[in-house]
Structure 1
Amino acid sequence: MLDSLLALGGLVLLRDSVEWEGRSLLKALVKKSALCGEQVHILGCEVSEEEFREGFDSQINNRLVYHDFFRDPLNWSKTGEALPGGPLGALRAMCKRTDLGPVTIALDSLSWLLLHLPCTTLCQTLHAVSHQDSCPGDGSPVGKVHVLGLLHEELHGPGPMGALSSLAQTEVTLGGTVGQASARILCRRPRQRPTDQVDPTAHLTFNLHLSRKEREARDSLTLPFQFSSEKQEALLRPRPSQATSHIFYEPDAYDDLDQEDPDDDLDI
């Protein structure tokens, strides 16, 4: 299961609950990425660095770049150790990496970030981080970027959950029964950009174009709302003796003018 979760780039949401915690799965994915030779960044907000690193051997811990926002998240101590811009500044700094190899970014947790930052700003930053392999700034090839986000779904409403879900390439929802854990995995196919323009009129069952004769017939057609030369002359150059009001009537082909029986069209 770990290999399939890391096979694609993008954002992987690990949705846990009070009954079924997801940090163990997050650490298992971090370990798998480190063993594959990837550079791993940890954005730690909920537990201490010592607690997160617990259970990893020295080989794994040496490959982890830990960004500690648990000890002093708001930089109240003014030690100068905190990154400028806070957690979002650390995420944006990860977007400016110069190495071309695959990178895993673990967010522990997305719930902490969502409770302290605007949802729109966080989603925009996550989109920029998780899609930097598909649209790098300098045009050079960049390795896959895996963003692992631990999300406590019971803490958030449907709005933030739906926004994060729309960004995720993969969602893992932890659950199960008594004594038996399970994980429901939802994978979305990456959206492919069209490379060639497709003619929308290529396979229509009717013709949208006019022939030469059809265009000539259309141009010579007199529309009912067009003025005749008599009407134009009367309106533009009225005679002095002409009345102030005048009714112009132009019968068309369907008018039935019968002076003998003017009510013939009434069918009575």
Structure 2
Amino acid sequence: MLLDVLQGSEAGGFIVIQDTIHCSGRELLKCFVNTALKREDAVHILGFETSEEELRNGLDNNCALKLHFHNGYTDPLGWTNCSLFTVKQFTTEHIGQLLKKSTNPKATTLVIDSLSWILRHHNPVTVCQRLHELKKGGSVKVIIALLHSDLHQRGIVGSICHLATTVISVTPGKRERSAMAKTTRRSKSGKVMQDEEFFNVTKDYAVTVQSRSSYPEPRQTEAETTEADPTANLTFNLRLSEMEREAKEKVALPFVFSQEKKSALLKPVKGSGRILYEPDANDDFDQEDPDDDLDI
């Protein structure tokens, strides 16, 4: 699945590469940049954590003209007032102006290195809103962001990952210079697919998958398939024997009248009072509207 995400980034996608201090995801981020350049996409990089020279090192030089690096590394907070891009300029309007520098691109890929820098200086709700606007605005084909998950609270990381269409969590692999990618991909229909793959990155920033282990479908064991008896280990008995059941059926319920009791209650008794009503001449009683005399 990792190679499918790398090669076929669909329009309107938002890919989050989630790493920790134990395993960096920047090499995988550069693989996405290199692949986008080979697709002849115009790649705009908001760089806060690495210099332009370091980021360009190892990428395809034939496609270098398609790479636009917006330097937020030299002065990310704008203290010297000489930086072309600062973290405060992470707005939909300003980024839209940066994307216009591309000349007739087939598609535009926006790379954020890293999103953690922006989250430390902006409200997470505002960041999610602006990412959503960029994703739905139509000027960007795909957004690829690096996120250091161990620098933020779990709720913030969860909000960003919920907004993403693909989340790639990078952890250390079993072998040297290898890593494991846990990929969670959500299609437009809402179907969620997951996969775990061991991979390594070559010197020219290409991804090689070493082994793949798809998530198996959940299997039910015999203990799960057989229904457990909730009355098995009780200290009292909830079942009736045949004799107890027959005795229970013979007991008359208090709200059920026997035939003798019904006859006794319905039999008229001498001297019992009755109420007789004779309509008066002034009574105006309408059979069709009995409540006609009421002020309703």
Q: With structure 1 as the length reference, what TM-score do the two structures score? A: 0.63
Cα distance, 1:160 vs. partner? 0.9
**How far apart, CA to CA, are the structure 1 residues paired with 2:157 and 2:53?**
30
Q: Relative to structure 1, is the Cα distance of residues 77 and 158 closer, same or farther in structure 2, using a 3 angstrom cutoff?
A: same
Matching residue of 1:188: 186
Cα distance, 1:159 vs. partner? 1.5
Alignment of 1:22 onto 2:20: no
**How far apart, CA to CA, are the structure 1 residues paired with 2:53 and 2:80?**
20
The aligned runs of 1:101-112 (5 Å cut-off) are: 101-112=106-117
Contact 2:116 2:148 in 1 (8 A): yes
**How far apart, CA to CA, are the structure 2 residues paired with 1:129 and 1:173?**
23
Q: Tell me the SS of whatever aligns to 1:124.
A: helix
Alignment of 1:115 onto 2:115: no
Q: Tell me the SS of whatever aligns to 2:179.
A: strand
The aligned runs of 1:56-71 (5 Å cut-off) are: 56-71=59-74
Q: Relative to structure 1, is the Cα distance of residues 37 and 53 closer, same or farther in structure 2, using a 3 angstrom cutoff?
A: same
Contact 1:173 1:184 in 2 (8 A): yes
Note the residue ranges of structure 2 that are not aligned, 5 or more in a row. Answer: 191-287
CA RMSD of aligned residues (A): 2.8
Q: Relative to structure 1, is the Cα distance of residues 79 and 94 closer, same or farther in structure 2, using a 3 angstrom cutoff?
A: closer
Q: Relative to structure 1, is the Cα distance of residues 28 and 84 closer, same or farther in structure 2, using a 3 angstrom cutoff?
A: closer
**How far apart, CA to CA, are the structure 1 residues paired with 2:22 and 2:86?**
34
Cα distance, 1:25 vs. partner? 0.5
Superimposed CA distance per residue, residues 95-122 of structure 1 (whole angstroms, 9 cap, x where no aligned partner): 7789573111110001111111111111
The aligned runs of 1:20-169 (5 Å cut-off) are: 20-79=23-82, 81-82=84-85, 86-88=89-91, 90-93=94-97, 101-133=106-138, 145-169=141-165
**How far apart, CA to CA, are the structure 1 residues paired with 2:173 and 2:83?**
47
Cα distance, 1:130 vs. partner? 1.5
**How far apart, CA to CA, are the structure 2 residues paired with 1:155 and 1:119?**
13
Q: Identify the structure with bigger relative contact order (alpha carbons < 8 Å, sequence gap 6+).
A: 1
Cα distance, 1:183 vs. partner? 0.6
Contact 1:109 1:150 in 2 (8 A): yes
Q: 1:174 aligns with which of 170, 177, 181?
A: 170
Cα distance, 1:74 vs. partner? 2.0
Q: Tell me the SS of whatever aligns to 1:231.
A: coil
**How far apart, CA to CA, are the structure 2 residues paired with 1:117 and 1:36?**
33
Q: Tell me the SS of whatever aligns to 1:11.
A: strand
Q: Relative to structure 1, is the Cα distance of residues 81 and 227 closer, same or farther in structure 2, using a 3 angstrom cutoff?
A: farther
Q: Relative to structure 1, is the Cα distance of residues 191 and 56 closer, same or farther in structure 2, using a 3 angstrom cutoff?
A: same
Q: Relative to structure 1, is the Cα distance of residues 83 and 47 closer, same or farther in structure 2, using a 3 angstrom cutoff?
A: closer
Matching residue of 1:4: 5
Task: In structure 2, give the amino acid aligned to 1:64.
Answer: L
Contact 2:87 2:117 in 1 (8 A): no
Q: Relative to structure 1, is the Cα distance of residues 227 and 181 closer, same or farther in structure 2, using a 3 angstrom cutoff?
A: farther
Note the residue ranges of structure 1 that are not aligned, 5 or more in a row. Answer: 134-141, 193-221, 236-268
Cα distance, 1:49 vs. partner? 1.4
Identity of aligned residues (%): 30
Structure 1 or 2, whichever has the larger Rg, is: 2
Q: 2:293 aligns with which of 225, 230, 247?
A: 230
Cα distance, 1:227 vs. partner? 8.2
**How far apart, CA to CA, are the structure 2 residues paired with 1:128 and 1:18?**
30
Which 10-residue stretch deviates more, 169-178 or 62-71? 169-178
Task: In structure 2, give the amino acid aligned to 1:182.
Answer: M
Q: Tell me the SS of whatever aligns to 2:23.
A: coil
Contact 1:95 1:132 in 2 (8 A): no
Cα distance, 1:81 vs. partner? 3.2
Contact 2:77 2:87 in 1 (8 A): no
Q: Tell me the SS of whatever aligns to 2:294.
A: helix
**How far apart, CA to CA, are the structure 1 residues paired with 2:94 and 2:47?**
11
Which 10-residue stretch deviates more, 78-87 or 175-184? 78-87
Superimposed CA distance per residue, residues 130-173 of structure 1 (whole angstroms, 9 cap, x where no aligned partner): 1223xxxxxxxx7x611000011111112211111111010111
Q: Relative to structure 1, is the Cα distance of residues 27 and 91 closer, same or farther in structure 2, using a 3 angstrom cutoff?
A: same
Cα distance, 1:62 vs. partner? 2.0
